[in-house]
Amino acid sequence: MQTHEIDMINIISKHTQAMIILIVKVYLSAGQADTWTLKIKL
């Protein structure tokens, strides 16, 4: 069970990293104003 849980965490973390990179790229290409709104929301 433990190795399966670790595999799931690894898969989820890889997906999360990919999503974060995608979101960052979108916001950077969208412009500075959107980046500021992102910071305010966070």
pLDDT at 36: 63
Nearest CA to 33 out of 41, 21, 9 is that of 41
- Greatest Cα pair distance in the chain: 46
Task: Tell me the CA distances in angstroms from 35 to 7, 9, 20, 22, 38, one per residue in order.
Answer: 33, 29, 13, 14, 5
pLDDT at 42: 56
pLDDT tens over the chain, length 42 residues = 577 888 888 888 998 999 988 888 887 777 665 666 666 665
Does residue 31 sit in helix, strand or coil? Answer: coil
pLDDT at 27: 76
Cβ neighbors of 34 (< 8 A, separation 6 or more) are: 27
